[in-house]
A and B are shown apart, each in its own frame.
Chain A
């Protein structure tokens, strides 16, 4: 039930924006709680890496006195990956096209993260 609700949050997020290619909710231990990824993406790999990036982002923000972590953004020449806390125990990972309007994506992603956090 909870998994289905989370799944629907992810489908809404992906469906609501043409800029979002895929997304997943992952526990801070790296386990995938729900995902709407393409078939070429390895769930275990995406999960472990996203959780690792979030941990490192958090640690680095603290180390350099940047306060609580809000998000981690990774930019490649083929697009972006966005990581946002979904409550204290999970992370929303969003895979974004390179032409994306980031402001809107941030907004949608934050909303989805909040909705997912409420379900966890």
Chain B
């Protein structure tokens, strides 16, 4: 399973979750509201991660560096540009976490925390500004985060298959064929 295959699946996924022009426009609106808040969001993100002893232990000694890295990513998802290279970048980000042995559970909780933080910000921004400018921006942002999480998660799956392939000498197409065999009853 290479990047091309991931992107082919992803195109189907993008259609299914409906990241169409309307939603992309809503994302651009949400981005404008949220961009000034990225530092605050990143700070709170880290407060939450550091409140948990397992993630805190993992982050120990790397916080300053990682905070910058994650600040940049939040800016990126709010940039308003969601072309193919944006999504290919998410695949690379998945690989970076695999390489750095970030447990998949940490990413799942990271995404969960970040969703809540971003939605809270949109809610308060909507209260302060024009309440009816973008009532559905949170939903569009939710769709984008789902898409990013899907692509990042696929790297973990791909990494496991690559490891099986390396250990056994079986090619990736062979492993795929074994996975796709009809289940025998019992």
Interface of A is mostly: helix
Does A111 sit within 8 A of B, measured CB to CB? Answer: no
- Chain B residues lying within 8 Å of A45, measured Cβ to Cβ, are 181-182
Given contacts A48-B181, A52-B178, A59 and B173 within 8 Å (CB-CB)? no
A-B residue pair count with CB separations less than 8 angstroms: 41
Residue among A28, A31, A44, A55 making CB contact with B181, cutoff 8 Å: A44
Does B69 sit within 8 A of A, measured CB to CB? Answer: no
CB proximity of A47 to chain B, nearest CB, Å: 8
CB proximity of B5 to chain A, nearest CB, Å: 15
Does A30 sit within 8 A of B, measured CB to CB? Answer: yes
Interface residues on A, range: 10 to 19
- Chain B residues lying within 8 Å of A44, measured Cβ to Cβ, are 177, 181-182
What does the 1/0 interface line of A67-93 toward B look like (CB < 8 Å)? Answer: 000000000000000000000000000
* In contact, A30 and B169 (Cβ under 8 angstroms): no
What does the 1/0 interface line of A12-33 toward B look like (CB < 8 Å)? Answer: 0000000000000000111100
Closest to B178 in A: A48
- 5 tightest Cβ-Cβ pairs between the two chains A and B: A59-B169, A55-B169, A29-B173, A30-B177, A55-B170
Chain B residues close to A by CB (< 8 Å): 167-171, 173-174, 177-178, 181-182
